[in-house]
Structure 1
Amino acid sequence: MSLHFSVLASGSTGNAIYVATEEHSLLIDAGLSGKKMQELFTRIDKKIEDLSGILVTHEHSDHIKGIGVLARKYKLPVYANEKTWKAMDGLVGAIPTDLKFNFETERVKTFGDLDVESFGVSHDAAEPMFYAFHQGDKKLVVITDTGYVSDRMKGIISNANAYVFESNHDVQMLQMGHYPWSIKRRILSDVGHVSNEDAALAMADVMGDQTKRIYLAHLSQDNNMKDLARMSVEQTLATRGIITGEQVELYDTDPKSPTALAFV
């Protein structure tokens, strides 16, 4: 089995994740400029032109900024659900019809040796969805940009080998920070982003015997810090009897630098 991935960039300034097997490679979102995306691919020694396609999670700019450019320049198929396509209209430029594909929520699409399962999340977008990647008995889950993790979501994402999991903010930092109350309320809402503690509680519910790696993703640059997110998650997991470094390893992600390629 050859399922591997890199979190190319993660945060409010732009998001992109590379997932691949021996037969196919996919990009989840492209929320950075075409030039920056090229740089990130170079740093993991991969080529954008070798991609099988781009999977879109939702239409917010930190997830779609570079999609149109990459699709047009490299003739890459783009997959999104119908509501997201409509919401992206006018935001990504013209994408040729033969490169536009529907991938609806709660569906499975197969790319050779890789099955991709989409699932809905709770976020203030048209129809946001994220993905679970399956190859044989290996499973990778990407879940960010959700205000909470429902029981339905937990059932879909349970017992993955690896997770890229949102750990967006520290509640106290957010409450004491400079954001207007309207934005704070949006982030804290059920269609906003999960906090470090809430993320860890959800992780504890979905982790299984197979789970070995969790990447803390989409950290707020204003309302979180890597060390704080890691400490909060470690402490919360410990209250549920899960010791990081023994049962599972935590990894940081970065808004500007890719994580090392890792096999699931």
Structure 2
Amino acid sequence: MSEQGFKYSILASGSSGNCFYLESPEKKILVDAGLSGKKITSLLAEIDRKPEDLDAIFVTHEHKDHIHGVGVLARKYHLDIYANQETWQAMEGHLGKLDLDQKHIFQMGKTKTFGDLDIESFGVSHDAVAPQFYRFMKDNKSFVILTDTGYVSDRMAGIVENADAYLIESNHDIEILRSGAYPWSLKQRILSDLGHLSNEDGAETMIRTLGNRTKKIYLGHLSKENNIKELAHMTMVNQLAQADLAVGHDFKVYDTSPDQATPLTNI
């Protein structure tokens, strides 16, 4: 195995459940575990990995599509769980019993060294108690996960700029959402500054943040009801091209799935 960088797979991304896998020579981790333990185990098997080899789960926020399988996996494989203090308080009752030595605080806005990885946490704008996402860094390579936010501030854009790869939210198409069956209160929530990025918002965020290192953009957290994979992809590609960015040449755009892992990829 090369000592350069790390490998990753987006095991699942969508409104029904989210789970991201990353491995370095020293560590194997998940970010969120928003599906059943059984489903996550089968997704890991798709990339020829096993849950018993995991070291930790890093939690972004307490919503069910991000923590559904955290307690089960943590108990079964005695994994360390990292989240900020407020998220711990919000999710603890949903995880079941965990040993004290499995519970770790990862404060928002801090960078933690975890084995051979450096992990930076940053706050986002979402209707959870204290949602935070992560930038993973090793050997001058980095991967940013940025979903579940209603907007991207200049502060956030500065933290995540010029990563080698991104998992960026393309949650909904605004017109499909507006004309769809969701109650008005839920539509307002999704469209608000505490909701989710639309296809256009995700593209605009990438235009602001990608740099000459960026090689891969993955579209994440697509809504089953309020988006179409091809539409999300086309919106991202078209907006990047309109901004005179060499999409398809300098970097590529990839889709993710709510129930199928992306190939294990070297950064």
Fold conserved (TM > 0.5)?
yes
Residue aligning to 1:191: 194
Partner of 1:35, secondary structure, is helix
Q: Give percent identity, aligned residues only.
A: 54
Amino acid at match of 1:147: G
Q: Within the alignment, does 1:122 sit opposite 2:125 as a pair?
A: yes
The separation in 1 between residues aligned to 2:115 and 2:36, in whole angstroms, is: 29
Retained in 1: the 8 A contact 2:119–2:135? yes
The separation in 2 between residues aligned to 1:239 and 1:223, in whole angstroms, is: 24
Q: Which one of 49, 52, 56 corresponds to residue 53 of structure 1? A: 56
Deviation for aligned residue 1:95:
1.3
Deviation for aligned residue 1:253:
0.3
The separation in 1 between residues aligned to 2:80 and 2:235, in whole angstroms, is: 39
Deviation for aligned residue 1:31:
0.3
Q: Within the alignment, does 1:82 sit opposite 2:98 as a pair?
A: no
The separation in 1 between residues aligned to 2:18 and 2:38, in whole angstroms, is: 14
Partner of 2:11, secondary structure, is strand
For residues 173-252 of structure 1, the aligned pairs below 5 Å read: 173-252=176-255
Partner of 2:187, secondary structure, is helix
Partner of 1:89, secondary structure, is helix
Deviation for aligned residue 1:239:
1.8
Unaligned runs of 5+ in 2: none
Partner of 1:192, secondary structure, is coil
Task: Compute the RMSD of aligned alpha carbons.
Answer: 0.7
The separation in 1 between residues aligned to 2:247 and 2:142, in whole angstroms, is: 20
Amino acid at match of 1:17: F
Deviation for aligned residue 1:247:
2.1
Q: Within the alignment, does 1:132 sit opposite 2:135 as a pair?
A: yes
Deviation for aligned residue 1:2:
3.4
Deviation for aligned residue 1:180:
0.2
Deviation for aligned residue 1:243:
3.2
The separation in 2 between residues aligned to 1:205 and 1:47, in whole angstroms, is: 37
Retained in 2: the 8 A contact 1:234–1:243? no
Amino acid at match of 1:233: M
Residue aligning to 1:170: 173
The separation in 2 between residues aligned to 1:179 and 1:86, in whole angstroms, is: 30
Q: Within the alignment, does 1:27 sit opposite 2:57 as a pair?
A: no
The separation in 2 between residues aligned to 1:194 and 1:126, in whole angstroms, is: 18
Deviation for aligned residue 1:30:
0.2
Deviation for aligned residue 1:245:
0.7
Give aligned pairs, total.
264
The separation in 1 between residues aligned to 2:182 and 2:75, in whole angstroms, is: 37
Q: Which runs of 4+ in 1 moved over 4 A?
A: none
Deviation for aligned residue 1:25:
1.2
The separation in 2 between residues aligned to 1:234 and 1:134, in whole angstroms, is: 26
Amino acid at match of 1:16: C
Partner of 2:95, secondary structure, is coil
CA deviation vs aligned residue, 1:94-117 (integer Å, no higher than 9, x gap): 111110000010111111211000
The separation in 1 between residues aligned to 2:161 and 2:246, in whole angstroms, is: 18
CA deviation vs aligned residue, 1:48-89 (integer Å, no higher than 9, x gap): 111120000000000000000000000000000000000002
Amino acid at match of 2:264: L
CA deviation vs aligned residue, 1:2-39 (integer Å, no higher than 9, x gap): 31100000101100000111111110000000110110
Residue aligning to 2:110: 107
Decide which moves more: 87-96 or 61-70: 87-96
Deviation for aligned residue 1:47:
1.4
CA deviation vs aligned residue, 1:117-159 (integer Å, no higher than 9, x gap): 0000000000000000000210100110000111000111000
Residue aligning to 1:3: 6
TM-score, structure 1 normalization: 0.99
The separation in 1 between residues aligned to 2:206 and 2:253, in whole angstroms, is: 11
TM-score, structure 2 normalization: 0.98
Q: Within the alignment, does 1:18 sit opposite 2:16 as a pair?
A: no
